[in-house]
Structures are given as C-alpha cells and as structure tokens.
Amino acid sequence: MPTEPSPLITAAALDVALGAESLWSGAGRRRSAWRVLDVRWKLGGPPGREEYERGHIPGAVYVDLDTELAGHGAPTDGRHPLPAEEDFQAAARRWGLDDCDAVVVYDDASGTSAARAWWLLRHAGVRDVRVLDGGIAAWRDAGYAVQTGMLVPPRPGGITLRYGELPTLDADESAALVARADGILLDARAAERFRGEVEPVDPRPGHIPGAVSAPTTDNVDSSGRMLPAEALRERFSALGVDERTAVGVYCGSGVTAAHEALALVVAGLSMPALYAGSYSAWSNDPDRPVVTGA
C-alpha cells in the first residue's frame, strides 16, 4: 500500500523540488509537475491579491479564497460553503492543474487559509497536496527569491475533480456526533468566540452544544510553523482525541476548520470530518441551539 505523502513541505524541500523540475522541463517536458498556489486571505481584508503582487514564490498562481474556494448561498449555508464541484474544477484548470500534479499551497497566516485549498483539493481527489510550513515568511526567511507583479496566466490544465474523498458533516450529523460516546466535535475558533464573549461576524455568540474548544492557533509556534507531530498528539490527547475517536471539526465558516484537520493529520491521527457550513451556518438557523461559556 503506498505511503501517504506528508501534508507539509519545508521551504528548502520546495526549493529543491522546483529546481529539479526546472531541469526536467529542459528535457522535453512542457511544464512542471509541481504547481504552487498562493492562497493569501484574511477575514475582513486586505485583499490577498495585493500581497501576492508585492512578492510571491516564483511561478505561484494566485487563488482567491472568497471566489474560488467558496460558494455563495443562503445564510444557513454558511459564509464560505464549498464551491460547486464544476466551479472548483474550472478554477483548478485555470490555475494550470493537470491530473497527477503535485500541489503546494501557502499563505501568510500560519497556513489557515492555505489549508482550505489543501482540504478542498484532497476532498476532490488530488492525492499529493502539501502546505508550505511557515508560508511565505518561511520562504523569505530562507533567503529564496520572490517574484513581483501578476503571473502570466498559466496554460489551462485538464484536471478532473470529484468531491467525496474526505469525510464531511452537515448540521444534523454534527449534532449526532457529540451525542456519541466515541465522538468529539472540535471548535477551531478563538476561545473567546467559543465562549460567546465576542462575536464579530455571526448572528448569535456561543458554540454548538457539546463541542470542545480547540483553537487552531494553538497548533502552531510563534513563527507560524506547525508544532511537531508529538506535541500535536499530546495536545489532541488532552482534548480527548485518540486513534479510536470519531472526530469532527468546525470553525466560523469552514476555513480554519481545515487547518485543524491538517494538524490532526500531521499528528498522525485520522482525517476528521469537516462541517463545511460551520458556526456561521449553525447560528443562522434559529432552530439550532447555541450555548455560551466554557
């Protein structure tokens, strides 16, 4: 059985991979099998495209999280529902992706937005997707060059995507999970939002009843790099997660929940089920109860 590739890649390893690909391309290959996607995005802005133009990994294609990694629907669908399968495939082809490409995604936010692209591509059947550990800062800190301005659009790819490779949850399934003796639903938002002390975006403060607070910011160190696997395993064990636990993850809108999923996989645990609508969908449904406090 083939070994699963690591979901993380270092700046040094990416530089070696891209350098090797540039040599191979001179031997008759039309394009690199490594594709790099820049997924810089922050809730409330500024637009990631501006940061991309100021400097990005050479050859990286800019990906707009709001328009290419999310759909748009009713409030009860959440702020960032999954894009329609055909829309996501069209976007991936615009990025130049072909079947069997290896993909590296990065951001400037400790991997929290890049993980959305990682999760979606994996969910759609792309096997080899890595998150650049430490993002663009790690690349710059290592002394590697950046490219400015907008990249000439790549040759359109021909990748075929189909959702269903990763487990997901809807609202009813999330509620059912916390009722299971072996189930746990992790809330990746900041602890103060979980407790309902602040709520900057969603209509009702608090959290899904029975959920456990697990801020995804606690999965990284001060440089934005993912904690070592053993440290992550200890963290999740303290929260009640082990190899036998059925785990679900959610956040405000399904973005940082993907980063929680990434951390669980780095820890050597099973891929959790992701509630894509997350708290923004849950809290917009008046029939869904919310609770506050720890």
Catalytic residue positions, numbered: 251
Rg (CA), the chain: 19
C-alpha distance from residue 109 to each of 63, 198, 256 (Å): 15, 21, 10
Residues 80 and 68 sit within 8 Å (Cβ to Cβ): no
Task: Supply 57's token pair.
Answer: 């990994």
Closest CA to 273 of 282, 263, 261, 259: 261
Residues 105 and 130 sit within 8 Å (Cβ to Cβ): yes
Task: Supply 41's token pair.
Answer: 């995005």
Residues 190 and 217 sit within 8 Å (Cβ to Cβ): yes
In sequence order, what are the residues at sequence separation of 6 or more whose Cβ sits closer than 8 angstroms to the Cβ of residue 287?
none
| H/E run at residue 18 | helix 11-25
